[in-house]
């Protein structure tokens, strides 16, 4: 089966005052007071987002990443996922699964309130799921088909049940959508919701609530959210977060340098060196959920030699991925080892790593019995098939440069390469038709914490699914089929480990690297922690712990207006 400067100035000056270490006073009995610094409420943070404002609504932000960042603070889901992809409670306090994996029971939190003060309950969840079931074109077809087969029952105000037609272990992935308020939007369908006033003044249950839009020259240029006092996981330390939208990364950086913002939501390679030169910016990096892969068509008779595992492994080990990462991404990517994202619970850390080694690659290549034919200036297989491939790739500058470097490495190995650049939609069409030999593509895993590689490598996906490599391996498919049917977490880990070991041995296609997401935020903002992410908005996963002001356990520090004086 996916900002206001005057406020900022006061807070920064206050941050400097309260950031000074207090002198610990001695108690009368001579004991020292423990003066461990701890965060206290107060302070604001402002961030530059690259893009434009559209709508603040988790059902309508799917194609607009900047709005997703704001929605992450305003709305909540039944469950969330930590950086390893392990489900965590959110609006659902707990859940249980039947032994056969077809019934999920959820207990909702009873201490949740919408930002307008109304109580949250199961009616809001049912309303939101009805939107998923509506059949509207805004809902991806695969989600429509999925939810059409799920029966959802509200057992009470705070108890819900989901009935599945068959076991499906990745189910929790599908209940991580933002919940909308039934008491505000009841009777509003998705078509009406597109232009509904709610999108300009949303009401959610998240740690921050919508405060106001920033408007200049009749254009929305930003959004301000404020701490929600009644947030069910304790009030955030920060009082306010403001976002401003910028057309380019360069203008976002200029806004930071001019003191308009304290952070940049995403730092692309084009401004990375300038950002690194800023002394007061802290840089955070995280693996993005985007796997660059060289697909090999294992069922194309024109390149029948790709069916030989040793040739596939030689092709992998001949690619200098570190060189590609440095020259194309400016070092902002990490080599991939296997088909499952590193840092997640399902990734097997002890996999054999087919690192760049042109000597071993050549030995593997020659061990298959290939020979060089000087007349045609090509290697041939033992059956006389010329060893040459067409490398299909998107005609973007980035993919073209990657393809050229791969071409150089494969030709150094002995494989003749012809590059075949096409628009991305045509690349996808060729993959779906299996009308390619090799292809350089990006597998987008955004918003998919559950690994479930079955859609890409299962046998049933060979003919019409996303198993574009046409890897027809019964053992691999059985591992994946069993893993998506068992609710036993440890068993799923074991099955995915077996699958990954088999994948790396057979190398049906070549996982190359994951781009790195880079985030820049002022060192004045404390408590920031970013692990591997499943979408850029995940940088706010612990935003309720961010703080500017700090006090001690032994006494409380008050934020002071520096414009005021006191008299003795």
Q: What is residue 311's three-state secondary structure? A: helix
| Total structural domains within the chain | 3
201 and 247 part of one domain: no
Q: What are the structure tokens assigned to 70, written together?
A: 């704001």
Domain C-terminal end among 167, 189, 205: 205
409 and 425 part of one domain: yes
243 and 362 part of one domain: no
Gap between the Cα atoms of 292 and 511, Å rounded: 6
89 and 53 part of one domain: no
98 and 126 part of one domain: yes
150 and 26 part of one domain: no
24 and 139 part of one domain: no
Q: What are the structure tokens assigned to 242, written together?
A: 């403001």
User: Residue 149 CA to chain centroid, in angstroms?
Assistant: 27
In a domain, 480, yes or no: yes
Q: What are the structure tokens assigned to 269, written together?
A: 């390679």
Tell me how long the chain is. Answer: 568
180 and 261 part of one domain: no
200 and 227 part of one domain: no
In a domain, 425, yes or no: yes
Helices 489-506 and 309-317: crossing angle in degrees, nearest 10, is 90
Of the candidates 104, 76, 70, the residue with the CA atom closest to the CA atom of residue 90: 76
Question: What whole-number percentage of the chain has pLDDT above 90?
Answer: 84
Quick: pLDDT tens for 116-171: 999 999 999 999 999 999 988 888 888 899 999 999 999 999 999 999 999 999 99
Burial of 294 (0-12, 13-18, 19+ CB in 10 A): buried
In a domain, 52, yes or no: yes
Q: What is the CATH number of the domain that holds 46?
A: 3.40.190
In a domain, 382, yes or no: yes
Quick: pLDDT tens for 296-321: 999 999 999 999 999 999 999 999 99
Q: What is the CATH number of the domain that holds 81?
A: 3.90.76.10
Q: What is the pLDDT of residue 137?
A: 86
Q: Please say if the pLDDT value at position 60 is more than 60.
A: yes
Confidence band (pLDDT; 50, 70, 90) for 560?
very low
320 and 451 part of one domain: yes
Question: What whole-number percentage of the chain has pLDDT above 70?
Answer: 90
Of the candidates 492, 395, 554, the residue with the CA atom closest to the CA atom of residue 34: 554
Long-range pairs for 18-25 at CB < 8 Å and ≥24 separation? 18/549, 18/550, 18/551, 18/557, 18/559, 19/550, 22/552, 22/555, 22/557, 24/554
In a domain, 521, yes or no: no
Domain C-terminal end among 181, 205, 229: 205
Q: Please say if the pLDDT value at position 333 is more than 50.
A: yes
pTM of the model: 0.86
In a domain, 433, yes or no: yes
Of the candidates 418, 419, 371, 369, the residue with the CA atom closest to the CA atom of residue 395: 419
Q: Please say if the pLDDT value at position 17 is more than 50.
A: no
Q: What is the CATH number of the domain that holds 364?
A: 3.10.105.10
Q: What is the pLDDT of residue 9?
A: 27
Domain C-terminal end among 159, 188, 205: 205
Residue-range definition of the domain harbouring residue 7 = 3-59+66-71+211-273+541-568
Burial of 32 (0-12, 13-18, 19+ CB in 10 A): exposed
In a domain, 410, yes or no: yes
Q: Please say if the pLDDT value at position 257 is more than 50.
A: yes
Strand partners for 215: 220
Q: Average of pLDDT values for 260-272? A: 95
Strand partners for 520: 264, 283
In a domain, 416, yes or no: yes
175 and 250 part of one domain: no
296 and 400 part of one domain: yes
Quick: pLDDT tens for 362-398: 999 999 999 999 999 999 999 999 999 999 999 999 9
């Amino acid at each position: 089966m996916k900002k206001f400067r005057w406020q900022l100035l006061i807070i920064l000056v206050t941050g400097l005052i309260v950031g000074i270490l207090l002198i610990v006073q001695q108690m009368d009995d001579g004991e020292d007071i423990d003066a461990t610094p701890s965060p206290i409420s107060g302070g604001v943070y402002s961030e530059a987002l690259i893009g434009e404002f559209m709508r603040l609504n988790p059902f309508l932000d799917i194609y607009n990443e900047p709005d997703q960042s704001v929605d992450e603070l305003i709305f909540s889901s039944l469950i969330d996922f930590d950086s390893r992809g392990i489900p965590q409670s959110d609006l659902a306090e707990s859940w249980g699964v039947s032994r056969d994996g077809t019934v999920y029971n959820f207990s909702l939190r009873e201490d949740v309130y919408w930002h307008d003060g109304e109580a949250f309950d199961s009616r809001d969840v049912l309303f939101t799921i009805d939107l998923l079931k509506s059949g509207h074109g805004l809902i991806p077809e695969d989600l429509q088909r999925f939810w059409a087969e799920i029966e959802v029952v509200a057992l009470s105000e705070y108890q819900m049940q989901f009935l599945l037609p068959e076991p499906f272990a990745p189910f929790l992935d599908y209940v991580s959508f933002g919940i909308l308020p039934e008491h505000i939007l009841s009777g509003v369908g998705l078509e009406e919701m597109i232009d509904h006033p709610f999108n300009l003044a949303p009401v959610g249950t998240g740690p921050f609530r919508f405060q106001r839009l920033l408007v200049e020259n009749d254009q929305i240029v930003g959004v301000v959210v404020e701490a929600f006092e009644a947030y069910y996981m304790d009030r955030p330390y920060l009082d306010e977060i403001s976002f401003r939208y910028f057309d380019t990364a360069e203008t976002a950086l200029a806004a930071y340098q001019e003191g308009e913002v304290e952070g940049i939501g995403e730092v692309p390679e084009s401004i990375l060196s300038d950002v690194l030169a800023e002394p007061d910016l802290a840089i955070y990096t995280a693996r993005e959920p985007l796997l660059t892969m060289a697909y090999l068509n294992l069922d194309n008779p024109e390149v029948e030699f790709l069916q030989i595992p040793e040739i596939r492994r030689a092709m992998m080990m001949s690619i200098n991925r570190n060189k590609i990462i440095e020259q194309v991404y400016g070092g902002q990517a990490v080599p991939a080892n296997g088909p499952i994202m590193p840092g997640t619970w399902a990734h097997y850390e002890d996999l054999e790593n087919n690192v760049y080694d042109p000597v071993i690659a050549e030995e593997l290549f020659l061990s298959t019995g290939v020979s060089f034919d000087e007349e045609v200036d090509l290697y041939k297989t033992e059956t006389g098939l010329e060893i040459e491939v067409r490398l299909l790739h998107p005609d973007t500058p980035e993919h073209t440069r990657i393809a050229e470097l791969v071409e150089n490495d494969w030709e150094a190995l002995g494989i003749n390469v012809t590059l075949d650049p096409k628009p991305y939609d045509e690349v996808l069409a060729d993959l779906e038709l299996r009308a390619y030999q090799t292809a350089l593509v990006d597998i987008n895993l955004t918003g998919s914490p559950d690994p479930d590689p079955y859609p890409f490598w299962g046998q049933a996906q060979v003919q019409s699914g996303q198993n574009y490599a046409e890897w027809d391996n019964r053992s691999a498919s059985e591992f994946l089929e069993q893993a998506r049917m068992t609710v036993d977490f440890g068993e799923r880990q074991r099955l995915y480990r077996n699958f990954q070991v088999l994948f790396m041995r057979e190398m049906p296609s070549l996982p190359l690297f994951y781009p790195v997401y880079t985030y820049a935020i002022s060192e004045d903002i404390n408590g920031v922690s970013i692990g591997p992410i499943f979408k850029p908005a995940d940088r706010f996963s612990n935003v309720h712990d961010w703080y500017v002001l700090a006090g001690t356990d032994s006494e409380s520090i008050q934020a002071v207006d520096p414009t005021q004086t006191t008299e003795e």
